[in-house]
Structure 1
Amino acid sequence: MDPIVAQIHALAKVADEEGRLNIIKELRQVQVELQSPKDSLMEIVGSGLVNAMLRVGADLGLFTLLAKNKGPLKVEEIASSTNASPQLLERILRYLGATSVIKESAANEYTATMLTHVLADPKGEAMIYHGFDTHGPVVQAMPDFFAENGYQDITDNTHTPFQKAHNTKLTSFDWLVQQPKHFENLQKVMTSLQGSEWTNEFALLDDEVQKIPSSAPQAFESPFFVDVGGGHGHQCRELGKKYPSLLGRMVLQDLPEAVGKLSPIEGVEIKAYDFFQPQPVTGAKLYYLRRIMHDWPDKEAAAILRNTAAAMNSDSRILIDDTVIPDTGANWQSTLADLAMMAFGGKERTEAQWHSLAKSAGLHVEQIHTYVASTYTAIVVLALE
């Protein structure tokens, strides 16, 4: 068995992202084929316990405690630091060890794994709380919601499993704004999903940046880059590092609750903005929306695009950083994401659906720059008709 495991590790070390996911896919299939029906049923029934125990672990500070400690800790030491009963901890830790969230290094002794460190990070901890407190009840509400509504598609973000789960008439975002703790967790989760990979080998961006004057921006200049719904400004920070000429030519926009308390970002103008209102920044070269459009049904998504289109010049472009699902053979990550977004009224879209959405807003798809082929993550470039 050890030589086989070593071979898999060796393959993973030299694999690209698509290759890595293919290895995982094959291993999942092997697991399914090797499991007995009893094994499979036990795994399905017990899946909810994982999220519950992650939440308990975060509440107790277990992951932070283990991650900070260089060596293993006895159950009694963990109990002393958390004020939890050793008897209760023993049972919880044993389960977390069995599921590889932490490592059982000896009898009643545990240490951190790579996953433990991920969960101990503030972004990882926020993911735990967002997954359990905000999204967990929605998942629980989905079966009854679908049955009550005759298993019809969700097209209205005020009538989704979210409203049923949280007993509200508000959209998920309006509700989150009124729940500061949950809203902050979401912002941290979004930050953890940020990255600048989309700029790699993206000729449109590189070509336009090359045209920027070497002099400082003038008062009459329109901004080059507007990050619409950009949260805490990760994308602007990354772009400023990669393209210093953009400093002073970028605008970060999001709701007041997201940007109101942000510290200044060098070279970035921070503005409170609701993208369901007219876009106040006119004539920018690029309007960038990352993980925004999949949050909304077609009607609302088209409204966001129309507000942006009204502010564009003929040489302006909208960059939608999102997923383009293939017509067949979509992987589990993208199909899971689609179901997760559906529960809030949103959707992941195919190429044909992106074309249809753009047309409904008076735009057209000019190109699609796929930058992570394994997860279908791409920049959908929109131009005025």
Structure 2
Amino acid sequence: MDKEAALQQVAAITQALEEVTKGLKQYATVIQESGGKSDLESIGQVSQSHTDLVSGVRTLNRASRGPVDMVFAQIEAVAYTGAVRALLEMGIFEKLPLDGTGLSADVLANELRVERDLLVRLMRVAVPELFAEPEPQIYSHTPYSMVYLHPGVRGAFKLMLGEYAPVFNKLSEFFKDSGWKSPQSETNNPYTFTHQTKGLTMWEHVKLDPDYFKIWNAAMNAQGIATSFAISIFPFKTELSKMETTEETVLVVDVGGGLGHATKQVKALCEDVKGRIILQDRPEVLEDITEELPEIEKMGHDFFTPNPVKGALIYYIRRCLHDWNDENCVLILKNIACSMTRSSRLLIAEIVLPATKADVEGAWMDLTMMTFTGKERTEQQWGDLLKDAGLRLEKTYGMPGTHYGVVEAYLT
């Protein structure tokens, strides 16, 4: 790098650092002013300021490393995640004391029955981002390593590395082979191409190994719970209270509601409103429910068939439609629309991407969905789907700091 280029880099770093400092002050101010409030507006303000701060840090990182070094940063990330997965399978996360005290490489290698040299080489990559090394080759937990002990987080990590990281690496090969366009076939897409599923869909393939399917489900449930804050984006009680209801009125049908975590939260949000709450999913899914769901009716239903509940006030579908291509989504929506009346409304709780400047989560989630023909959508794309299903988009509810939202629709 010549002097002029180096000075330009210093200027870029200085500007980025100033923005990070400003963003940090803003984040601290918002936290102080929110006072730990749990209302949606306060959560949104904190989330937005944190998102802005992280964006600034990413800009600072790019400026500090420069264009060439950022290419190698991608290789570093691959090596890091590979090392973490190996250490996870090795058992180091469980072996290290939870009180933060350290263990030597000798002790760990002996107790885990692994080669000491291999352990040290893997830990060399994971320190200090993940583990601490207070003394040479003495390792201890940090908050960043302990989070992997949570079954849902661990399941999500294994799922992304085991199922989707290889798929991302094969994207170019798939598109060269099948054409440069978004995949639409459930049996011919980047996922099935990479895993050589022999005619099985992604959904069928992950069920082949019952033990792995449990991990897969744990990851999906963890992600659903992690984004459960978005359920309250729609004012269920306020809207339902505007209508006269009885104990027999069907207030909400949670279509494809899984194990009922969201349904239970919706029920709480409908507090004091007379009426019924129905959880729908395939019978085999409902059989796996172990949690008590008081005052929630369970109903076996496949959303690729007409909804058996006629005239509910709200049909609610959350984190389902992004799994499917446009054709299947229209079919699912038509099977809900055919049971709606003029007083019914449909709520789609999903990511609603902006037309530009999508956040990191929205972008990588869309890419992940694409590998098996799914899609994260913009408001315009949601509107197009609804129109094709005989529905009209009425309003999109959202909050600052996240692309998660609720799309409200009625019959046309």
Task: Determine the structure 1 residue equivalent to 2:320.
Answer: 292
**Which consecutive residues of structure 2, in runs of 5 or more, have no partner in the other structure?**
1-13, 31-45
Superposition deviation, residue 133 in structure 1: 1.7
Match of 1:305 among 329, 333, 338: 333
Q: Alpha carbons of 1:292 and 1:201: their partners in 2 closer, same or farther (altered >3 Å)?
A: closer
CA distance in 2, matches of 1:183, 1:257: 14
CA distance in 2, matches of 1:212, 1:57: 58
Q: Alpha carbons of 1:64 and 1:232: their partners in 2 closer, same or farther (altered >3 Å)?
A: farther
Match of 2:161 among 132, 135, 138: 132
Match of 1:323 among 339, 345, 351: 351
Q: Alpha carbons of 1:77 and 1:322: their partners in 2 closer, same or farther (altered >3 Å)?
A: same
CA distance in 2, matches of 1:87, 1:247: 65
Superposition deviation, residue 246 in structure 1: 6.8
Superposition deviation, residue 28 in structure 1: 0.9
Task: Determine the structure 2 residue equivalent to 1:91.
Answer: 121
In the alignment, is the contact (CA less than 8 A) between 2:132 and 2:142 conserved in 1?
Answer: yes
Match of 2:239 among 207, 210, 214: 207
TM-score where L is the length of structure 1:
0.88
AA partner of residue 387 (structure 2): K
**Which consecutive residues of structure 1, in runs of 5 or more, have no partner in the other structure?**
none
CA distance in 1, matches of 2:232, 2:97: 33
Q: Alpha carbons of 1:252 and 1:103: their partners in 2 closer, same or farther (altered >3 Å)?
A: farther
Taking the TM superposition and a 5 Å limit, the aligned residue runs for 1:1-385 are 11-15=26-30, 16-37=46-67, 39-66=69-96, 68-98=98-128, 100-168=129-197, 169-193=199-223, 194=225, 195-200=227-232, 202-203=234-235, 205-209=237-241, 211=243, 217=247, 221-245=248-272, 249-263=276-290, 264-371=292-399, 373-385=400-412
* Superimposed CA distance per residue, residues 121-180 of structure 1 (whole angstroms, 9 cap, x where no aligned partner): 001110121112221232122111111122123233332101101212222223234443
Superposition deviation, residue 232 in structure 1: 2.1
Larger mean Cα displacement after TM superposition, 328-337 or 350-359: 328-337
CA distance in 2, matches of 1:280, 1:223: 12
In the alignment, is the contact (CA less than 8 A) between 1:79 and 1:85 conserved in 2?
Answer: yes
Q: Alpha carbons of 1:310 and 1:8: their partners in 2 closer, same or farther (altered >3 Å)?
A: closer
Larger mean Cα displacement after TM superposition, 247-256 or 326-335: 247-256
CA distance in 1, matches of 2:132, 2:126: 8
How many residues are treated as equivalent by the alignment?
377
Alignment RMSD: 2.8
* 1:288 partner SS: strand
Q: Alpha carbons of 1:200 and 1:270: their partners in 2 closer, same or farther (altered >3 Å)?
A: closer
AA partner of residue 107 (structure 1): P
Identity of matched residues, %: 27
In the alignment, is the contact (CA less than 8 A) between 2:131 and 2:142 conserved in 1?
Answer: yes
In the alignment, is the contact (CA less than 8 A) between 1:157 and 1:345 conserved in 2?
Answer: yes
In the alignment, is the contact (CA less than 8 A) between 1:252 and 1:270 conserved in 2?
Answer: yes
In the alignment, is the contact (CA less than 8 A) between 1:364 and 1:383 conserved in 2?
Answer: yes
Q: Alpha carbons of 1:278 and 1:65: their partners in 2 closer, same or farther (altered >3 Å)?
A: farther
Superposition deviation, residue 37 in structure 1: 5.0
AA partner of residue 374 (structure 1): G
Superposition deviation, residue 206 in structure 1: 2.4
